[in-house]
Amino acid sequence: MLVALMVLKIPKEYLSTFNRQLQTQLYNELMQDYSFPRAVCRSLSELFISYIDLYFSSQRKEGQIIFHGVSKDVPPGVPVNEMNLVSVIITIYDPEDCKVKNQRELLDKRIMRISNEAHTQGALLTQADIAILLGESTKTISRHIEALEENGELVPTRGKWKDIGPGVSHKKRILELYLKGYEYTEIERKTQHSGEAIMRYVKDFARILVLTEEGFEDEELRIITGLSEKTIQEYKELIETYSTEEYQERLDQLHSIFGKKEISRMNTETGPKNSSGRWRR
């Protein structure tokens, strides 16, 4: 273990901390209690650890804890005492943490790690969860998450994934990547979302795009699509931002989903809007 840690080029002052492993404890007890030769102690401790890994691989490793997060299937508005919880393994510290340049980078790394670990295991951490786990204030965590997202990272927190509270939703960020020309596999890798979920967001956005160009009002869009007012507003902001020639290829692809490649020409042919805001047929 010590050799492995040295290979990772961990600074010497941290070696003692990361060398406090179960294997080290077993080695020392075999030495002290049974007076076995060092080679035997080393072999036996390695053997014990190999069997533990083989039969209990789902158990925690050094630096990990068990945390009860809210299932990512729980919708907004559910009371805390009725939420379905998921027991997840969270890595609080890792030898790789010692490679970071400064405290800000270290906190960013840990925020990304534990939020993605929870998401992969079926839970979504709140910013308060992350603050408690990392010993920081919620304001600090919120500030770091905002900075990470400005740099193109997607941090899977419950607020972002379920569109709870203010701030840009994960849907909007996923669609921005799509509009900028990223392929589905790239978006999956960057956002930790399935291809099916991404396709669903793209189809919803295409519906808003087409219906908006046909003159439907916000209330009509909400009724027709079943999307929240916040989501509709975010999608309309995207339409306004990306309705330029630079992104025309993607917009054409979105129009084609509903067979609306020539929306502007169709609107011209069908005439002016009626009193409800829709185009007359």
This prediction has a pTM of: 0.56
DSSP letter at 57 equals T
The answer to whether residues 273 and 222 touch, using CB atoms and an 8 Å cutoff, is no
Digit-coded pLDDT (tens) for 6-33: 445 666 666 656 666 778 888 888 988 8
Residue 163 pLDDT: 61
CA distances in angstroms from 69 to 123, 130, 160, 193, 205, listed in the order given: 5, 10, 15, 18, 30
In sequence order, the β-bridge partners of residue 70 are 85, 124
**For residues 75 and 72, what is the distance between their CA atoms, to the nearest angstrom?**
8
- Second-level CATH architecture of 64-163: Orthogonal Bundle (1.10)
Of 151, 175, 149, give the one whose Cα is nearest residue 160. 149
Which residue type, as a one-letter code, is found at position 53? D
Question: What residue ranges of the chain are covered by domains with CATH 1.10.10?
Answer: 64-163
The predicted model gives 156-173 an average pLDDT of: 71
Phi, psi of 65 (to 5 degrees): -135, 165
Digit-coded pLDDT (tens) for 182-227: 888 888 887 767 788 889 889 999 999 999 988 899 899 988 888 8
The pLDDT > 90 percentage for the chain reads 25
Residue 10 pLDDT: 60
**For residues 36 and 249, what is the distance between their CA atoms, to the nearest angstrom?**
72
Residue, of 104 and 172, whose pLDDT is higher: 104
Banded pLDDT at 280 (limits 50, 70, 90): very low
